[in-house]
Amino acid sequence: MTISSSPSSLDGCESTKQEVIRNTVNFYRSIWGDQFLTFDKELKEKVRKELVITDLIELAQHVKLLELIDAVQRLGVAYHFEEEIEECLKYIYVQYGDQWISNNDLQSTSLWFRLLRQQGFDISSGIFNKYKNTKGDFMESLRDDVRGMLSLYEAAHMRVEGEEDRIVEGYFWILAVYFEPQHSEARIFLLKACSLVIILDDTYDNYGTYEELEVLTQAVQKWSRSCLDMLPEYMKVIYRELLDVHEEAEDLLEKKGKAYRSYYTKEMVKEYTRNLLIEAKWAKEGYIPTVEEHMSVTLVTCAYAMIIAKCYVHGDDSVTEDTFKWVSTYPPLVKASCLILRLMDDIATHKEEQERNHVASSVECYMKQYGVSEEQTHDLFLKQVEDSWKIINQESLRPTDVLRPLLIPPINLARVCDVLYKRGDDYNHVGKEMIHYINSLLVDPISM
């Protein structure tokens, strides 16, 4: 069978162009035109104009600015405005520092705290204390503030390691001094005082520069809110809280006709910071003092005499001006209690402290002065602790320099050292024994 083919089907080199007829639809012209080509740019500029701090002087304006930043971040478009957000939050931080004036608005306070913490500003969580009751719990009335509670929940995710992580241990310490129900007021103010002591101690030991610490010490000696302007931002929080706690106690004392008592505790705080500054100078210069020189300073900075005086501030009528004069002279009983804390604390903590730029402890001072080993120094210090207890026992025998109830605080403060430091630093490194003590005392019910 013969098959014939035409050139068009076999060549493949030439094709015949034919007009293709396709079905079409009558599409309507877009009503939007080209406006979306510039729409995002226009929106960005509109937001940028709102993310400005010029002429924003009222609290309500600052709250709206924070709400705008929050909305932009939640929408996932904050990367367009990183510089503007940084400038706005920096401005608000400079304006308010750690003291956000919120008219008791929990929602805006929580928003302010969260946004600034997210941006890396080191602001204090103490701003939330005004929403707590005297027991330290958030007030029941906040339950009705749904938005505020939700904002607070979100802010809680910005906590950092170490915030308020010694409150339970601090309260355990105070309970060793006064555990009876009638001393409830004293326990509250003692815990506040001890918390301030820890904050001041850490500021002088670790955080502050020597120049900043000089200014803080001067401010404490003047004891006036007018000194706030001379302090760095982070120190303003500490200084303001120091004054607030004392003023709160003064108000209560004045109502009881015992306002004179606050004078003595103020003077002991002043003495405390002066000696902390001496320690800071030693640390800065790498100076290792003699044991005698060291003890003349660190028996003050152990803060026990000051804490004892604060115990007496909230005491009954058995406390007189002579009581405060007695404790401020470091009589044998008070000095022995201070020495027990100083030596047991240093034995337990000196190795860890020397890993950072910490002032030389009594252990290093004694080893250098007398050329003995660390183990020998520990043994000798434990013997001194034992001798200090003999002094306490002797001073507790009748007749005593002060009424017997007034001997209880220094004695109990010495006792608690054995619990906290006998096995090491159980205050800062809570172990099984300390957990057991706290659970037994505060958590587990007593079996009947």
pLDDT of 333 reads: 97
Separation between Cα atoms, residue 388 and residue 304, nearest integer Å: 15
**Above 90 in pLDDT, residue 421?**
yes
Mean pLDDT of 149-165: 69
Judged on CB neighbours under 10 Å (0-12, 13-18, 19+), 112 is: buried
Mean pLDDT of 267-290: 97
**Chain segment 285-343, per-residue pLDDT in tens:** 999 999 999 999 999 999 999 999 999 999 999 999 999 999 999 999 999 999 999 99
Cα 178 versus chain centre, distance: 25
Mean pLDDT of 51-56: 70
The percent of residues above 70 in pLDDT, for the chain, comes to: 86
Mean pLDDT of 40-56: 77
- Count other C-beta atoms under 10 Å from residue 399's C-beta: 5
**Above 60 in pLDDT, residue 4?**
no
| pTM score of the predicted model | 0.66
Q: How open is the CA angle 376-378-380, to the nearest 5 degrees?
A: 70
**Chain segment 204-240, per-residue pLDDT in tens:** 998 899 999 999 999 999 999 999 999 988 899 899 9
Range list for CATH 1.50.10.130 in the chain: 41-164
Best CATH choice for the domain 41-164 from the list 3.10.20.30, 3.40.50.300, 1.50.10.130, 3.30.70.100: 1.50.10.130
Separation between Cα atoms, residue 206 and residue 233, nearest integer Å: 17
pLDDT of 137 reads: 67
434/347: higher pLDDT: 347
pLDDT of 45 reads: 84
Separation between Cα atoms, residue 45 and residue 54, nearest integer Å: 16
423/258: higher pLDDT: 258
- Count other C-beta atoms under 10 Å from residue 105's C-beta: 18
> Which structure tokens are listed for 241?
């809280």
Q: Rounded to the nearest 5°, which phi and psi values hold at 35? A: -65, -30
Cα Rg of the chain, angstroms: 34
308/143: higher pLDDT: 308
> CATH second-level architecture of 167-443?
Orthogonal Bundle (1.10)
CB 301 within 8 A of CB 274: no
| Confidence band for 171, pLDDT divided at 50, 70 and 90 | confident
Range list for CATH 1.10.600.10 in the chain: 167-443
CB 328 within 8 A of CB 267: yes
pLDDT of 5 reads: 47
